[in-house]
Structure 1
């Protein structure tokens, strides 16, 4: 019994009979709603009440559904659990370890039974066991009959070098069941997930994720740590379509931590709910639609924040939003202690990383490339919305694309979006992005009659190399600063204006930056809309190399600050040395993404 729960002799008679009876039922193939599920739940609860200590459950789906060992030893290495249906009927106690065997695949969704939750100091840990040389264990929520692509070479052969690149499925035959996620945790806390491979592949679009953690009417859920997990081939939605039962298409893709309020009506407001202590580290997300890694919350309504009407219970219900009884303007309960660190994210249909409704999240040392390859709606590399004090540092973002059918304001490496306050983007390496380095977006309403303003962003000490359409996309900003950055445009004939104005009110400073344009035809502005204004953009103490022919320096749009600018030809500039010095002195080389080990 030590592998399921170490029961003290004092309590053995209390729990032994229901526990063994429940375990015996596992091999009988009862449904989750049948007797076996009820007995397993009762046994686990009885074990906790009787003084059980945590144990370990081993899972090996390669052995078939029906075991031959003693029911009393189910979950041991000698008699492992053999399918997810059995595992999903067990209520997991705090401190339990669930270990999947390396080199094996479990088809379906790991959806722990209600009541399965860890505790402070005793999280539930999901991990691998077996031959350390074998491949990581797979939970495949989508098709079961697939083409193996362990080194990604088959999928990469079907990738276009730029513009639109379609999703490539490895499915030979499809799964008629659409599972929401390979791992789906609902209203639970204190979990650690490590060393797994998650897929949810299909030949058609659907509401799919690799990892989905969801809270509703829960209060604060704590401690969700994901380390060294590989999520790939998840066929989600690329746009909102009729029949989509999961809400926004941006709730599909790689990993999502979401707070919902779908069941709320006026007069029965749910409990304010948020996440505390999310950490996703050392993981890889590849070939997913639509969003790779994100947080999302329906407890997001505040004055000057993101549009409240985008989320239930406000969505499609303006009376709810304006009803004084709902107190919609104070429904802001942000996530705390969110860290997304040292992850590799690539071949993504839409956005790379989105942090929504959080306080002081850290997004650092990630490498994102081949982003926005398929979605028809605007997307970017890594960005925050309706969030305060976000920090993006030591990230490398390259190959964010623009779709040819969109006159896009996006395609940027980074974005301080609607309702963000005091975002800091520092010491990042942005290169070869079709859209550019940075988007400021105060370009909408909060749903309460106010502008959803971006305020107080600091973009400093970044390196932008051969970013294309523009460096800064200005779509609404207040009291922000772009300072001490190095911008190098060395592709022949590439002009890359420094600021593109998208006809929203902008107020920010551009100070102490160095701009290099090898074509000697660098430009300061591109005005996408004629009504765009540069009156509150102040330029001070910048050095321009290769911009001398730009008449805008003396034009009415160029507002000079306190420090004089330097304007020189590009000739004689050693931009390789400039870039090398930045990589060293910024700390980027020391803190950038490091692959944890060979996949």
Structure 2
């Protein structure tokens, strides 16, 4: 079974677990005036009259009717209708037309386009609400194809389109943004809004609380600008998983709001990305776009992009990204590309504030070198990768970088006449640029960066602990906004501004409730996306598939007579602890404390401490050979042997170029315990939490 298939089967679990970022978004609507209700049961033996007792049994019966204000069409739960649903007629602001579900249970009705251009088609209509359906459009061949398509082709303005609460999946859209059919990629996605350049705009366009997965070309796209900007655009609360392209694209819209969406595994899925470029969530040819409270993670690499966020060509006014969380994306954090498209370059202001970025580590904002750019109060934490920043330095850019946390083992920041730094904090292998005023150097004492106690990253790990040198050390600046990432006022109650995305007063130092909560490194990646890993600063990692062949997969594993919980089911999230003096709560008795892990950059050894519930403690020495070593360190033994591992691919769309045939190993080590006592906690050996030489621990148990 391939990793890609396994991932698709987990997407339902992923969506259920991810309520912190992409939670349900309440969208208020007008009270609906009563109108005729029509029922559709495509399993019914005969074509009825559309009543509840004699439902229609085909989409052709639905398509034959022109609906009016207050009408509703309900499809029977658990039943599939094959073909294309074509909306006809319009509702009004008081009485929209509704497509929905009826019947017992929670299983959605299915509209299966069966390889058509579009499965649910709303063309030149107003005031429709499409809800509680599953829309799918599979095919054995890929082409320009969508699940739901909203289109404006006439010059008349449209209004009141709401797409909410759908599952849209397995749409065989185009995956190649290069060559003759590149335009098919732009017009393929799970949910598509398209307007001819001479057509009337749509006011009141809401796309909310949908689950979009395994759709070729992308997740949710507004493509092309009509005669005027779309207005009242809200894209919120959507979970977009394993789609073969962009997560969310907003084109031709005035003040669009994109918030509380989650995009994971971009470029993968049933219809994966093939070639060219894609990115996480971005705007193009729009005015004053705002992206906030979103999450983008684990994107595949592409030709250049694959960043979480992007301000693209034709943006007017201000392009704002605030209160977002991104991590482990193939192309990094942010792309500033206003000057690298066929659209005019209006040098819109770029505001990037109070975001948290983990192991993205790349900003390519110098492609448009004249945009005024403000980068304030972000937390950039590079556990496994060097920091790579390119910022605008043109005469009108006036780039300001202030109150940010920069943590990385390697990297440097650019300098220029029109680029200023103020009161940023630096730790690891990065130092303040020459001429910075008020720079702070030292451990920011983040609570538990990278921690994944539930299998997913937690932004809460990026709160400041008490004693952090970032507390109260920032500048009070205009343009910071009223709150931080976590909702704390800016300035806070004490009148201060911290450095970083957390403006609170500091949380108590962390004692980890599990090893997983302390995870701070991505040591395992998938064969189809080796770029996810960062076991070393060169981007190498174990193969999840190779580990599985060796018997190490999520759940329980056995090594050297000891049973361990194997930690991570979703490759590409942190999966091991690089020892840095973390204290882990245990509460268990046994004769030995056992570990599975390895060293990096040679054999590594360090001293840890076991504390018992009676107040006593004992030190121990933990030693692991390097993961590339052919023999175990003295007193340890082999846990698992793999015949290959991963490196960054030399060709972005050929993951096989990220395979290195050199053998790698995991090692087993155990230290004795007083079996008459109960272990209260284990403090791991000291070291740096950042990629480099040190001890890596994937599993630990008292046995």
Pair in the same fold by TM > 0.5: yes
Instruction: Indicate the residue corresponding to 2:289 in structure 1.
Output: 390
CA–CA distance in structure 2, aligned partners of residues 257 and 247 of structure 1: 15
Q: Does 1:139 align with 2:111?
A: yes
Show the 5 A alignment for 1:414-493: 414-420=309-315, 421-444=317-340, 451-468=344-361, 470-477=362-369, 478-491=371-384
The 1:293–1:496 alpha-carbon spacing in structure 2 relative to 1, beyond 3 Å, is same
CA–CA distance in structure 2, aligned partners of residues 91 and 445 of structure 1: 41
Report deviation, 1:566.
2.2
CA–CA distance in structure 2, aligned partners of residues 482 and 336 of structure 1: 28
2:142 corresponds to which of 205, 226, 242: 205
Aligned length: 424
Instruction: Indicate the residue corresponding to 2:187 in structure 1.
Output: 251
Describe the superposition over 1:545-594 as per-residue Cα deviations: whole angstroms up to 9, x where unpaired: 1235x5x833xxxxx46x332234x5x8445279637569845599xxxx
Q: Is the 8 Å Cα contact of residues 177 and 275 (structure 2) preserved in structure 1?
A: no
Instruction: Indicate the residue corresponding to 2:201 in structure 1.
Output: 274
Show the 5 A alignment for 1:84-483: 84-113=59-88, 116-131=89-104, 133-142=105-114, 178-239=115-176, 247-261=183-197, 270=198, 273-299=200-226, 333-373=228-268, 374-403=273-302, 406=303, 408=304, 410-420=305-315, 421-444=317-340, 451-468=344-361, 470-477=362-369, 478-483=371-376
Report deviation, 1:199.
0.4
Show the 5 A alignment for 1:37-52: none
CA–CA distance in structure 2, aligned partners of residues 583 and 126 of structure 1: 44
Describe the superposition over 1:266-322 as per-residue Cα deviations: whole angstroms up to 9, x where unpaired: xxxx5x5101111111111100110210112343xxxxxxxxxxxxxxxxxxxxxxx
Q: Does 1:553 align with 2:442?
A: no
The 1:89–1:215 alpha-carbon spacing in structure 2 relative to 1, beyond 3 Å, is same
CA–CA distance in structure 2, aligned partners of residues 181 and 425 of structure 1: 32
Report deviation, 1:507.
4.6
Q: Is the 8 Å Cα contact of residues 475 and 506 (structure 1) preserved in structure 2?
A: no
The 1:229–1:456 alpha-carbon spacing in structure 2 relative to 1, beyond 3 Å, is same
CA–CA distance in structure 1, aligned partners of residues 200 and 419 of structure 2: 39
Q: Is the 8 Å Cα contact of residues 213 and 240 (structure 2) preserved in structure 1?
A: yes
Q: Does 1:55 align with 2:36?
A: yes
Instruction: Indicate the residue corresponding to 2:400 in structure 1.
Output: 509
The 1:276–1:399 alpha-carbon spacing in structure 2 relative to 1, beyond 3 Å, is same
TM-score w.r.t. the length of structure 1 is 0.66
Q: CA RMSD in A?
A: 2.8
TM-score w.r.t. the length of structure 2 is 0.56
Q: Is the 8 Å Cα contact of residues 144 and 184 (structure 2) preserved in structure 1?
A: no
Report deviation, 1:208.
1.1
Report deviation, 1:439.
1.1
Q: Is the 8 Å Cα contact of residues 199 and 210 (structure 1) preserved in structure 2?
A: yes
Q: Is the 8 Å Cα contact of residues 89 and 112 (structure 1) preserved in structure 2?
A: no
CA–CA distance in structure 2, aligned partners of residues 179 and 351 of structure 1: 21
Higher strand share: 2
Q: Is the 8 Å Cα contact of residues 78 and 108 (structure 2) preserved in structure 1?
A: yes
Q: Is the 8 Å Cα contact of residues 506 and 534 (structure 1) preserved in structure 2?
A: no
SS of residue paired to 1:86: helix
SS of residue paired to 1:359: coil
Q: Does 1:497 align with 2:375?
A: no
Q: Is the 8 Å Cα contact of residues 58 and 98 (structure 1) preserved in structure 2?
A: yes
The 1:573–1:458 alpha-carbon spacing in structure 2 relative to 1, beyond 3 Å, is same
CA–CA distance in structure 1, aligned partners of residues 382 and 177 of structure 2: 37
Report deviation, 1:247.
4.6
The 1:476–1:575 alpha-carbon spacing in structure 2 relative to 1, beyond 3 Å, is farther
The 1:286–1:466 alpha-carbon spacing in structure 2 relative to 1, beyond 3 Å, is same
Instruction: Indicate the residue corresponding to 1:16 in structure 2.
Output: none
CA–CA distance in structure 2, aligned partners of residues 510 and 547 of structure 1: 19
SS of residue paired to 2:186: helix
Higher helix share: 1
CA–CA distance in structure 1, aligned partners of residues 487 and 60 of structure 2: 46
CA–CA distance in structure 2, aligned partners of residues 119 and 243 of structure 1: 41
SS of residue paired to 1:290: strand
SS of residue paired to 1:233: strand
CA–CA distance in structure 2, aligned partners of residues 564 and 224 of structure 1: 50
Q: Is the 8 Å Cα contact of residues 55 and 95 (structure 1) preserved in structure 2?
A: yes
Q: Which structure 2 segments of 5+ residues have no match? A: 1-32, 451-458, 465-482, 489-703
CA–CA distance in structure 2, aligned partners of residues 495 and 429 of structure 1: 19
CA–CA distance in structure 1, aligned partners of residues 328 and 111 of structure 2: 35
CA–CA distance in structure 2, aligned partners of residues 241 and 543 of structure 1: 41
SS of residue paired to 1:182: strand
Report deviation, 1:539.
1.8
Report deviation, 1:54.
2.1
Report deviation, 1:216.
1.4
CA–CA distance in structure 2, aligned partners of residues 400 and 289 of structure 1: 14
SS of residue paired to 1:401: coil
CA–CA distance in structure 1, aligned partners of residues 449 and 146 of structure 2: 43
Report deviation, 1:83.
0.3
SS of residue paired to 1:355: strand
Report deviation, 1:445.
5.8
Describe the superposition over 1:419-467 as per-residue Cα deviations: whole angstroms up to 9, x where unpaired: 21301111111111121111111223656xxx52441111000001111
